[in-house]
């Protein structure tokens, strides 16, 4: 019976149904599309993770495993296990004309255990086939290298001290992670010939990875745990294929966290709009509910009648959102292609449908709960009054009824952000913004009260409307304002980052970043570049080490499953080798936040431990503070140092910056390599110099910083674009709220409008009044939203990006004008038809 | 025995800090099958008294017993069920559900009480009101008199022992009002129901067996 009556009521209220579903659909769409994207991505990642790792398990370090570690590893692995070692490093490759930084992968017979490499000439290559690359100095190259090096298959390229023939070209590679984000194109080479090239020498940034294939019956997680326990060096990384897959998708995971939060803003605005619409709907239904109660329907059943209606509307919204999501996801696939490690085909699957239904139905009921509870407070004696006023009795129970929807929203925020800190900050910011908007709107209405007798008739009417319907005005103002703040914030941050990348400190970025320079090569290379009239910008030593103790306690590797992003970051910081450097002064990009930099060079005779300066965020992740003693294993020798200063570093200067800098004199004699940056040089000269360096020192690798910056800019642009699309969806939802309110207001003012017409007011005056009302609301919210968006971008820039803020005034001006225009248009469309009706005084029950 | 007993009932409304007395210390009884008109000027408290008799509102003081049941002893749900079963109400503004047809409006209380042969009974009630041909029409497609007849059919379709009517002809023209009231009184007589109606129309009041004049919230002795 309830279902039947609920359906009939809804059928009789098409405008309410349409607007309610419009709000909820818009609010859910972003969320569902994003969920579909995340699920498709995770599914794809999981299904291709084994191929991407090319094994079940990997054990990797920036050095070869020691014999004792190999013994422990073999003991931890079950019988029937297969394993091989591959080498990965970044190095320069030269042809007769050019030199290019590449990712070298030295592989051995049996690689890959899973997946395949498709080659242009040979076709499909799998691990079980014989590997030509180990028999002679031959390489398989990524296709773009043929262009970059200006070579053809069959010709030679030089890697280290050996010439290699280009045997084939890679068409497809199932183990190629981070396609778009890879720093350099890939070359496959035989491990033995790579070793003969002389590149695998001390200090080179080579990763030694043991790929392990387990018998099918073995539990990979258990073996991973055993290996982790057997090798306790934090610098040795043990990864099961599924975790390795997650690592590869980290960039998209971070992006989707923030997209999730932006989509939640849309959902919150939609909920606000839906709640408003339902309140208006129930106000109109008050008599009907009272009638039902008077003829014997219990309050509970009356409430259930509307719960059923909300369920139906929520379900319809969920279906519509899923359908719109289906249309949107192909667009998302295109936008995200450079951010995903695997080609992505996104589709809205059953789990996303289920989420849409859950959120649509539960969300609709939760946000309307306060209105539903008002049914219990309805006094049916209103039926004996000619006009029934709304019951606005605020009780503790009514206030409490808002709690479930806020709690659910908070839970969703934590879920989306994967971070207690970020989720809480997000909710607090959103609430803070809503309160600021509400306060300013309320103050504005008070101010307007002073002007209510001034101006033209349409202005006075607009002021009267705004003041008499305070809750509508506040709802509109908050919805639009938050949207405006959001769409200002994202491009402002993007603009700041890109401006900073293009000119970090006024004197430009370095043009080349050199690494893997051996100690005995430093002087020669300095002379070489000076001979070309180029003065090195910075030269820094780098010592590979392992953190072994903190305050005398052994430093343990974190093996637990990380739940939040903070835990993930902490684990990554803990579970990796460290690079140490030493110098006596601060670099331009550094600022001391705590303590003081070194008190002169280290004095061995003093008997005191050395001093250490640590980067602020790295210290937070390790849980290290001023005064703590850190002990490093430097080539088997323990070196202890006390943290005497904490620094912030502007990483985007692209200078040799380090998390850990030691006092000079403490580890100066340790085996090390050097990093060097060269200043801005004109393009042709840069290419010549690069070729000359690589010809002289084949082991030195060079990053072209301008290319890297261009790549980062492109990534930021892509990420911003996706965020902006989501931001606009929020604004669209804000407009749906405005449209809903404008429609309802026009309906509610039908009587007033017609009375005005009968009294001789021009149709234009009434329309102008409505346009002014919503135009002022839109302009006020857009200006305030832009200011707050700008302020938020300033805080984000100063706090998160350490002083990075380059505002663009074009953004707020464009956003404000666009929002006012859309707001006027929305209110015009919403009210024109109703205001244009013949002046008949309607009598509504 | 009286089917309705009102004992020392008062009703006050709070408006800001001011207390407005609407009904003052009323006591009266209505016998089963009796027809009673509560008459008085606008603002005399007639509708308030009717909402108290229907259990739609509670008195500030005193007790109301309907069909042997003290309304003050029932909680909201019990009161709602009791009203659905024992009291039919006719409103001046009809209060029909706009989304339901005439027949469905009459079916509504039967559905709520889960009564058998609901459709047949509703149709009978409509036919009794002369609206058999208008069963499929929505309220907005009916005239005021027809709407009121649907409302009357809805009120007595569950065969309550008591029928309460608030200015039942107040929104109708004289001729239509008279025609509709004839139907109402006929239906009441046929079923032996008790009718309490509120009106300021003395001609309508005269059709009732008893009249209770209400002046400034107090009953006047004839």
Question: How far is the alpha carbon of A284 from chain B, nearest alpha carbon, in Å?
Answer: 12
**How confident is the prediction for chain A on average, in pLDDT?**
81
Per-residue pLDDT reduced to its tens digit, A654-682: 788 889 999 998 888 888 889 999 888 88
* pLDDT reported for residue A181: 46
In chain B, what are the helix, strand and coil shares in percent, each to the nearest 5? Answer: 40, 30, 30
* pLDDT reported for residue A842: 40
Question: How far is the alpha carbon of B123 from chain A, nearest alpha carbon, in Å?
Answer: 18
* Chain A residues inside the 8 Å CB shell of B158: 296
Tell me the mean pLDDT in the region A821-841: 69
* pLDDT reported for residue A481: 83
Burial class (CB in 10 A: 0-12, 13-18, 19+), A153: middle
Scanning chain B, the segments in alpha helix (DSSP H) are 46-53, 76-86, 102-113, 118-128, 144-156, 174-191, 202-205
Cα(A535)–Cα(A808) distance, integer angstroms: 35
Tell me if B56 and A379 make a contact (CB, 8 A cut-off).
yes
| B202 in A contact zone (CB under 8 Å) | no
* pLDDT reported for residue A800: 61
Per-residue pLDDT reduced to its tens digit, A461-503: 788 778 777 777 887 788 778 777 877 777 777 676 666 665 5
Q: Nearest by CB to A296, which of B48, B98, B112?
A: B112
Q: Residue B138: phi, psi to the nearest 5?
A: -80, 155
Overall residue count recorded for chain A in this entry? 845
Question: How far is the alpha carbon of B206 from chain A, nearest alpha carbon, in Å?
Answer: 22
Tell me if A386 and B93 make a contact (CB, 8 A cut-off).
yes
| B60 in A contact zone (CB under 8 Å) | no
Domain membership of residue B72 as a residue range: 2-219
* pLDDT reported for residue A573: 65
pLDDT higher than 80, residue A834: no
Question: How far is the alpha carbon of A380 from chain B, nearest alpha carbon, in Å?
Answer: 5
| B189 in A contact zone (CB under 8 Å) | no
| B7 in A contact zone (CB under 8 Å) | no
Which residues 20-49 on chain B approach chain A with CB closer than 8 angstroms?
47-48
Q: Nearest by CB to A291, which of B48, B97, B99?
A: B97
Tell me if A379 and B57 make a contact (CB, 8 A cut-off).
yes
* pLDDT reported for residue A671: 83
Who has greater pLDDT, A423 or A560? A423
Question: How far is the alpha carbon of B2 from chain A, nearest alpha carbon, in Å?
Answer: 23
Closest residue of chain B to A386, computed from CA coordinates: B93
| B81 in A contact zone (CB under 8 Å) | yes
CB environment A198-234: b (16+ within 10 A), e (fewer): ebbeebbbbebbbbbbbeeebebeebbebbbebbebb
- Other C-beta atoms closer than 10 Å to the C-beta of B107 total 23
Indicate the Cα dihedral angle A350, A354, A355, A361, nearest 10°. Answer: 150
DSSP B176-221: HHHHHHHHHHHHHHHHT-EEEEEES-HHHHTTSSEEEEEETTEEPP
Tell me if A295 and B97 make a contact (CB, 8 A cut-off).
no
pLDDT higher than 60, residue A745: yes
Tell me the mean pLDDT in the region A611-629: 88
| B125 in A contact zone (CB under 8 Å) | no
Per-residue pLDDT reduced to its tens digit, A168-210: 999 888 877 544 446 688 899 999 998 888 887 765 678 899 9
C-alpha triplet B130, B133, B138: angle, nearest 5°: 100
Cα(A426)–Cα(A411) distance, integer angstroms: 12
The number of domains in chain B is: 1
ipTM of the complex: 0.75
Tokens of A474: 């506040």
pLDDT higher than 60, residue A388: no
Name the stretches of chain B with pLDDT < 70.
1, 221-222
- Other C-beta atoms closer than 10 Å to the C-beta of B141 total 12
Closest residue of chain A to B87, computed from CA coordinates: A295
* Chain A residues inside the 8 Å CB shell of B77: 298-300
Tell me if B56 and A297 make a contact (CB, 8 A cut-off).
no
| B182 in A contact zone (CB under 8 Å) | no
Among A55-59, A531-535, A712-716, B177-181, the range of highest mean pLDDT:
A55-59
Which residues 143-162 on chain B approach chain A with CB closer than 8 angstroms?
154, 158
Who has greater pLDDT, A285 or A386? A285
Tell me if A299 and B48 make a contact (CB, 8 A cut-off).
no
Provide the CATH number for the domain around residue B151: 3.40.50.300
Who has greater pLDDT, A60 or A46? A60
Residues in A whose CB is inside 8 Å of some CB of B read 1, 5, 8-9, 11-13, 287-288, 290-301, 379-381, 383-386, 845
Closest CA to A642 of A599, A701, A593, A677: A599
Who has greater pLDDT, B209 or A33? B209
At residue B99, the 3 state secondary structure works out as coil
Tell me if A296 and B81 make a contact (CB, 8 A cut-off).
yes
Q: How many Cβ pairs within 8 Å bridge chains A and B?
A: 92
* pLDDT cut 90: percent of chain A above it: 15
Per-residue pLDDT reduced to its tens digit, A396-436: 777 788 889 889 989 988 888 777 877 888 888 888 888 88
Q: Nearest by CB to B76, which of A290, A296, A299?
A: A299
pLDDT higher than 80, residue A250: no
Cα(A323)–Cα(A259) distance, integer angstroms: 20
pLDDT higher than 80, residue A844: no
Tokens of A436: 């600021």
Question: How far is the alpha carbon of B119 from chain A, nearest alpha carbon, in Å?
Answer: 13
| B120 in A contact zone (CB under 8 Å) | no
Per-residue pLDDT reduced to its tens digit, A678-708: 888 888 888 888 888 888 888 888 888 877 7
* pLDDT reported for residue A165: 93
* pLDDT reported for residue A337: 62
* pLDDT reported for residue A236: 84
Tell me if A295 and B108 make a contact (CB, 8 A cut-off).
yes
* pLDDT cut 70: percent of chain A above it: 84
| B99 in A contact zone (CB under 8 Å) | yes
Which one-letter DSSP state was computed for residue A803? S
Question: Which of A128-142, A748-762, B65-79 has the weakest average pLDDT?
Answer: A748-762
Tell me if A295 and B48 make a contact (CB, 8 A cut-off).
no
Question: How far is the alpha carbon of B99 from chain A, nearest alpha carbon, in Å?
Answer: 5
Per-residue pLDDT reduced to its tens digit, A281-328: 888 888 888 888 888 888 888 999 999 999 999 999 999 998 888 887
* Chain A residues inside the 8 Å CB shell of B54: 294, 380
Cα(A198)–Cα(A159) distance, integer angstroms: 9
* pLDDT reported for residue A497: 67
Q: Residue B120: phi, psi to the nearest 5?
A: -60, -45
Are A728 and A484 in contact by the 8 Å Cβ rule? The answer is no
Q: Residue A467: phi, psi to the nearest 5?
A: -75, -40
Question: How far is the alpha carbon of B37 from chain A, nearest alpha carbon, in Å?
Answer: 16
* Chain A residues inside the 8 Å CB shell of B96: 291
Tell me if A380 and B154 make a contact (CB, 8 A cut-off).
no
* pLDDT reported for residue A311: 95
pLDDT bin (cut points 50, 70, 90) of residue A644 is very high
């Amino acid at each position: 019976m309830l279902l039947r009556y609920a359906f009939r009521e809804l059928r009789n209220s098409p405008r309410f149904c349409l607007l309610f579903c419009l709000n909820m659909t818009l609010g859910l769409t972003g969320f569902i599309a994003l969920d579909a994207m995340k699920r498709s991505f995770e599914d794809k990642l999981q299904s291709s993770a084994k191929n991407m790792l090319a094994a079940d398990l990997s054990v990797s370090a920036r050095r070869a495993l020691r014999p004792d570690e190999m013994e422990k590893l073999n003991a931890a692995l079950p019988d029937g296990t297969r394993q091989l070692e591959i080498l990965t490093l970044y190095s320069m490759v030269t042809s007769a004309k050019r030199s290019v930084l590449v990712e070298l992968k030295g592989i051995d017979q049996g690689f890959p255990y899973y997946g395949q490499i498709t080659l242009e000439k040979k076709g499909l290559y799998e691990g079980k086939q014989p590997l030509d690359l180990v028999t002679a100095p031959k390489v398989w190259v990524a296709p773009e290298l043929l262009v970059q090096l200006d070579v053809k298959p069959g010709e030679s390229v030089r890697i280290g001290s050996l010439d290699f023939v280009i045997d084939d070209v890679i068409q497809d590679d199932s183990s190629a992670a981070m396609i778009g984000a890879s720093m350099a194109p890939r070359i496959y080479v035989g491990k033995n010939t790579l070793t003969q090239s002389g590149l695998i020498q001390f200090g080179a940034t080579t990763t030694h990875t043991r790929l392990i294939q387990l018998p099918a019956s073995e539990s990979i997680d258990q073996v991973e745990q055993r290996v982790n326990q057997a090798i306790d060096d934090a610098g040795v990384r043990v990864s099961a294929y599924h975790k390795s897959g997650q690592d590869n998708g980290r960039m998209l995971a971070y992006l989707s966290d923030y997209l999730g939060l932006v989509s939640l803003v849309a959902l919150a605005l939609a909920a606000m709009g839906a709640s408003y619409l339902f309140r208006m709907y129930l106000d109109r239904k008050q008599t009907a509910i009272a009638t039902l109660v008077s003829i014997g329907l219990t309050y509970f059943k009356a409430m259930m009648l509307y719960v059923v209606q909300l369920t139906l509307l929520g379900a319809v919204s969920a279906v519509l959102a899923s359908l719109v999501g289906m249309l949107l996801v192909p667009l998302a696939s295109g936008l995200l292609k450079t951010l995903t490690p695997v080609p992505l085909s996104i589709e809205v699957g059953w789990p996303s449908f289920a989420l849409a239904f859950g959120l649509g139905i539960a969300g609709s009921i939760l946000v309307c709960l306060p209105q539903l509870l008002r049914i219990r407070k309805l006094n049916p004696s209103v039926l004996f009054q000619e006009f029934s006023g709304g019951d606005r009795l605020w009780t503790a129970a009514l206030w409490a009824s808002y709690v479930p929807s806020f709690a659910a929203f908070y839970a969703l925020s934590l879920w989306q952000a994967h971070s207690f800190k970020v989720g809480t900050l997000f909710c607090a910011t959103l609430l803070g913004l809503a309160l600021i908007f509400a306060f300013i709107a309320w103050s504005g209405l008070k101010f307007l009260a002073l002007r209510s007798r001034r101006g033209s008739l349409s202005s006075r009417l607009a002021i009267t409307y705004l003041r008499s319907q305070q809750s509508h005005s506040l709802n509109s103002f908050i919805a639009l304002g938050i949207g405006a703040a959001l769409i200002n914030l994202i491009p402002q941050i993007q603009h700041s980052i890109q401006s900073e990348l293009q000119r970090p400190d006024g004197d430009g970025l370095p043009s080349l970043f050199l690494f893997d320079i051996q100690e005995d090569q430093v002087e020669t290379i300095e002379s070489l570049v000076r001979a070309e009239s180029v003065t090195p910008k910075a030269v820094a030593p780098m010592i590979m080490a392992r953190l072994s103790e903190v305050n005398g306690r052994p430093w343990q590797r974190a093996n637990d499953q990380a739940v939040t992003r903070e835990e993930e970051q902490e684990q990554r910081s803990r579970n990796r080798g460290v690079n140490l450097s030493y110098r006596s002064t601060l670099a331009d990009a550094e600022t001391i936040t705590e303590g003081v930099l070194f008190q002169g060079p280290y004095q061995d005779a003093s008997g005191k431990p050395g001093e250490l300066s640590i980067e602020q965020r790295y210290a937070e992740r390790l849980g290290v503070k001023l005064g703590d003693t850190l002990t490093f294993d430097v080539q088997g020798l323990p070196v202890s140092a006390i943290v005497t200063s904490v620094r912030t570093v502007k990483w985007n200067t692209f200078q040799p910056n380090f998390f850990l800098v030691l006092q000079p004199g403490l580890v100066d004699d340790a085996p090390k390599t050097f990093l060097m940056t060269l200043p801005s040089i004109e393009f042709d000269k840069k290419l010549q110099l690069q070729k000359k360096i690589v010809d002289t020192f084949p082991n030195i690798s060079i990053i072209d910083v301008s290319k890297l910056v261009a790549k980062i800019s492109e990534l930021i642009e892509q990420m911003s674009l996706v965020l902006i699309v989501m931001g606009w969806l929020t604004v669209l939802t804000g407009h749906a709220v405005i449209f809903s309110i404008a429609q309802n207001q026009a309906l509610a003012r039908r009587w007033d409008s017609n009375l005005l017409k009968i009294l001789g007011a021009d149709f234009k005056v009434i329309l102008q009044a409505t346009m002014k009302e919503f135009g002022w609301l839109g302009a006020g919210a857009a200006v305030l939203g832009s200011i707050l968006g700008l302020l938020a971008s300033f805080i984000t820039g100063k706090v998160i990006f350490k002083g990075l803020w380059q505002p663009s005034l074009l953004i707020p001006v464009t956003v404000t004008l666009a929002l006012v225009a859309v707001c006027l248009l929305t209110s015009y469309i919403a009210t024109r038809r109703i205001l244009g009706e013949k002046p008949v005084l309607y009598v509504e029950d | 025995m009286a089917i309705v007993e009102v004992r020392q009932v008062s009703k006050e409304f709070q408006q800001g800090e001011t207390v407005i007395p609407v009904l003052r210390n009323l006591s009266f009884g209505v016998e089963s099958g009796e027809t009673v008109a509560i008459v008085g000027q606008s603002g005399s408290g007639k509708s308030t008294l009717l909402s108290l008799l229907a259990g739609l509102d509670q008195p500030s003081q005193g007790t109301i017993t309907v069909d042997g049941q003290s309304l003050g002893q029932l909680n909201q749900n019990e009161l709602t069920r009791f009203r659905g079963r024992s009291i039919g109400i006719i409103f001046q503004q009809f209060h029909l559900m706009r989304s339901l047809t005439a027949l469905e409006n009459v079916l509504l209380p039967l559905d709520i009480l889960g009564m058998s042969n609901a459709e047949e009974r509703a149709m009978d009630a409509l036919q009794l009101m002369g609206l058999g041909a208008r069963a499929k029409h929505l309220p907005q497609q009916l005239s005021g008199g027809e709407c009121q007849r649907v409302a009357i059919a809805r009120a007595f379709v569950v065969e309550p022992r008591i029928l309460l009517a608030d200015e039942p002809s107040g929104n109708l023209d004289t001729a239509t009002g008279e025609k509709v009231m004839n139907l109402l009184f006929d239906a009441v007589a046929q079923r032996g129901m008790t009718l309490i109606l509120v009106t300021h129309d003395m001609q309508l009041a005269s059709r009732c067996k008893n009249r209770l004049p209400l002046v400034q919230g107090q009953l006047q002795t004839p």
